Amino acid sequence: MIPLDHLSKQQIHQYQEVEMIKLLNYLNTYSPYYIKLFNKHNYDINTFKHITDITQIPTTSKYNLQASNWDFLCVDKSKIIEYCTTSGTLGDPVIIALTENDLKRLAYNECQSFKQIGATEFDLFQLMVSLDRQFMAGLAYYSGVRQLGASIVRVGPGNIALQFEMIKQLNPTILISVPTFIINLIHFAKENNINLNDLNVRKILCIGENIRDLDFQNNSIASKIIENWNVSLFSTYASTEKQTAFTECAFQNGGHHLPELIYFEILDENENQLPEKELGELTITTFGVEGMPLLRYKTGDICSYYTDPCPCGKSTFRLGPIIGRKHQMIKYNGTTLYPQTMFNILNGLDEVQDYFIELRKSTFNTDDILIHIATFSLNDTIEKKIKSALQSNLKVLPKIEFKSISIINKMQIIPGQRKLTKFIDLR
């Protein structure tokens, strides 16, 4: 039997049409939120026949999920096994409730991601993210490794010395981490005369931050990692609401779509579907979710997609890098920016130890950017280099303040956030 991700795009769409009809019937029976939405818009689920008919269905946003959180629940609370929350990037966090079947789906999703990067049951994963604080990602990675049949060491985030102790003792082959933390590992290795290439690590699954430019070339942080460590880097993108990941294969030209788990669209400001390679808002529909399925849910993430065949043999669509959050778009001195653009520049400067970016409204009600930067050493030459890099790449120069690394690290701890952050929107 030919795997679903190797079928023609027409065959995949036919499969998803069946799944969409199942979902519509499920929501129209069990979801208080979608029952109200369908009634409000006089939408008849029986009019859906082909995948193109999805444009007739009203969209849902994170604001709807925040305002009517429990109306999205389709099962009795006695069936809920796990409660996870979103990070709260766009306002207050929301709760995502998972049943036993949802947890199995989550494990399957991540297991497929690991197979995508060439992982097998003979690998040992070192998990450098949290499993607590209702964090779905850590739960997904842990469950996926178990389903794969591989081994795992749960070190969690931070504590660089402990990370290396486990790497030396247990010889993991794959690390799961945010890329900027890998940079911290590299600095620690240099300071402690650790030869990274003597270690058994061969692959790093990079989460939470981009490692590719829009043309799929390594961005500054990925380049910095592989210049110092002979490893293969893989990008993966997911969110709590989607309960599904888009992960690169060995050819590293976009995150592969899992059509059995999710349908996606890229929409413009007027909710029109965009063709491939054009940037718009990722909008998703989940298949196989029992607790809180989502239909045409606008994620707020800006990206594009690609349909050309991948050399790996899969015929599924692929997502390009996430360039930013829709609501984090910045208008600064006539230029449109996203935080990720500034991250890429600062991550590429060897002189920058760490940073924190604040976005506020000015007294003139315009966007105002302040970048706090810690450097390994500071003099006029280094200051000029940093400002020149920002000016030449952004075409504008935000306000900059140089601070100690201890102050920067304190600024990155945001009350209510589960992880360190390099950006805060105070508009």
Determine the pLDDT at residue 418.
Answer: 63
Q: What residues have CB less than 8 Å from 165, skipping those under 6 apart?
A: none
Q: What residues have CB less than 8 Å from 198, skipping those under 6 apart?
A: none
Tens-place pLDDT, residues 37-71: 999 999 999 999 999 999 999 999 999 999 999 99
Instruction: State phi, psi for 146 to the nearest 5 degrees.
Output: -65, -40
> Structure tokens of 262?
């999710």
Rounded-to-integer distance, Cα 385 and Cα 154, Å? 40
Beta strand 297-303 with 324-325 is antiparallel
Hey, which bits of 317-422 come out as E strands? Answer: 318-319, 324-325, 330-332, 335-337, 352-361, 367-375, 399-402
- Say which residue the tokens 């718009």 belong to: 280
User: Which CATH code for domain 329-425?
Assistant: 3.30.300.30
Tell me which DSSP letter residue 131 carries: S
Q: Which residues of 37-63 are buried (b: 16+ CB within 10 A; e: fewer)?
A: bbeeeebebeebeebeebeebebbbbe
Instruction: State phi, psi for 266 to the nearest 5 degrees.
Output: -115, 115
pLDDT string in tens for the chain (427-residue length): 688 988 999 999 999 999 999 999 999 999 999 999 999 999 999 999 999 999 999 999 999 999 999 999 999 999 999 999 886 555 577 899 999 999 999 999 999 999 999 999 999 999 998 887 777 888 999 999 999 999 999 998 889 999 999 999 999 999 999 998 999 899 999 999 999 999 999 999 999 889 999 999 999 899 999 999 999 999 999 988 999 999 999 999 999 999 999 999 999 999 999 999 999 999 999 999 999 999 999 999 999 999 998 999 999 999 999 988 887 788 888 788 888 889 989 988 989 999 999 998 877 777 889 999 999 999 999 999 999 999 988 888 999 999 999 999 899 988 766 667 888 888 8
- Say which residue the tokens 């050493």 belong to: 377
Rounded-to-integer distance, Cα 54 and Cα 49, Å? 9
CATH 3.30.300.30 residue spans of the chain: 329-425
CATH class assigned to 1-325? alpha beta
Helices (H) then strands (E): counts for the chain = 11, 22
CATH 3.40.50.12780 residue spans of the chain: 1-325
Tell me which DSSP letter residue 71 carries: G
Tens-place pLDDT, residues 270-310: 999 999 999 999 999 999 999 999 999 999 999 999 999 89
Measured over the CA atoms of residue 401, residue 406, residue 412 and residue 415, the dihedral's sign is negative
